[in-house]
Amino acid sequence: MTELTGKTALVVGASRSLGLALAREFAERGWQVVATVRGREPEALTELARTTGRVRVEHLDMTVPEQIGALAARLAGTPLDLLFVNAGITGEDRPVAEVPTEEFVEVMVTNALAPLRVVEGLGPLVVPTGTVAVMSSRQGSLTMNTRGGHEVYRASKSALNQLMRSYAARHHDDPRTLLLLHPGWVQTDLGGPGARLTVPESARGVADVVEKHAGEPGLQFLDHTDQVVPW
Ligand SMILES: NC(=O)c1ccc[n+]([C@@H]2O[C@H](COP(=O)([O-])OP(=O)(O)OC[C@H]3O[C@@H](n4cnc5c(N)ncnc54)[C@H](OP(=O)(O)O)[C@@H]3O)[C@@H](O)[C@H]2O)c1
């Protein structure tokens, strides 16, 4: 049995793919993990909770502000060493002017506004030596956008990055580590089957980066191999 680290992580969006793998990765590294799902609890997570004894499952649709407040109330008195907002969505890949307004709003709210609401609402549970991490994407990098494609998804991750920079600026004397992370191109429902990395490979890299940078105040945009991603 892995030695317990005494650390606790909250992973938002842990029903499947990268979020589930991150919950598994941290639990296997000896962390206690609070893993959130927005729908029914998937069997894989129930099984992970049973086999590790270190995973507690909670419910959160992060686009519903009342649910963020309710989760914060349920977790009151649970100090977090890591808040990891993993959840995100994409829409159909088409030029922006062809995207229905409802889809634009849904992607922007889910990928940019909701993560910051979670950071604001649940961030107070993170201890001063802790980390607030949000899953971004290299596709949110303005510098790296030389080919276009997935325009609204890209824009939502750029907006997420900008909002995290505003959050960091407002909390410039915050001792906590703030991370925007790119997990690589990963074989998930979102990344598609042709992606380069398997889910466990990516989750391992992302968890390594989180653990390596613990205790470093300020905001960084890093990928799963610990390389800086340009804004
Ligand atoms: N895969 C890649 O290549 C790649 C590359 C760069 C960045 N990323 C980012 O990495 C993160 C995870 O991606 P993935 O590939 O694992 O995606 P995925 O397979 O589509 O899984 C998305 C996860 O987010 C959850 N989620 C979506 N909307 C939510 C909401 N409103 N409230 C709570 N949970 C919600 C989903 O829950 P349900 O099961 O309920 O739908 C699911 O657990 C995303 O932020 C994505 O943008 C992925």
CATH number of the domain to which 121 belongs: 3.40.50.720
Q: Whose CA is nearest to atom 29 of ligand 1?
A: 87
CA 124 to CA 127: how far, in whole Å? 8
- Burial per residue of 188-200, b for 16 or more beta-carbon CB atoms within 10 angstroms, e otherwise: beebeeeeebebe
Domain contains 212 = yes
Ligand 1 atom nearest to 197, measured from its CA = 3
Q: Which of 12, 36, 89, 179 to mutate to test the pocket of ligand 1 (most atoms within 8 A of CB)?
A: 89
**Which pLDDT score, from 0 to 100, does residue 118 have?**
98
Would residue 136 count as lying in a domain? yes
* pLDDT mean over 128-137: 98
Q: Is 17 in the pocket of ligand 1 (CB under 6 A)?
A: yes
Q: Which residues form the domain of 209?
A: 8-223
What does the alpha-carbon distance between residue 42 and residue 64 come to, in Å, rounded to a whole number?
A: 21
Residue with tokens 């992302």: 206
Examine residue 228 and state whether it is found in any structural domain, yes or no.
no
Asked if pLDDT for residue 2 goes beyond 90, the answer is no
The strand pairing partners of 83, in sequence order, are 10, 132
How many Å lie between the centroid of ligand 1 and the Cα of residue 173? Answer: 31
Structural domain total, the chain: 1
In a domain, 231, yes or no: no
CA of 87 to the centre of ligand 1 (A): 4
Q: Tell me what pLDDT residue 3 has.
A: 77
Cβ(123) to ligand 1 under 6 A?
A: no
Query: pLDDT category, 4, cuts 50, 70, 90?
Result: confident
Any domain includes 1: no
- Percentage of residues in the chain with pLDDT exceeding 70? 100
Of 28, 37, 35, 42, nearest to 9 by C-alpha is 35
pLDDT cut 90: percent of the chain above it: 98
Average pLDDT, the chain: 97
Which whole number is the average pLDDT over 123-140? 98
Query: What is the reported pLDDT for 1?
Result: 54
For tokens 């030695």, the residue is 3
Query: Residue 109: is its pLDDT beyond 60?
Result: yes
- 104 domain-assigned: yes
Within a domain: 52: yes
Reported as a pLDDT band with limits 50, 70 and 90, residue 152 is very high
Residue 2 within a domain? no
The pLDDT, as a whole number, for residue 5 is 80
Ligand 1 atom at minimum distance from 189 CA: 19
CA of 182 to the centre of ligand 1 (A): 12
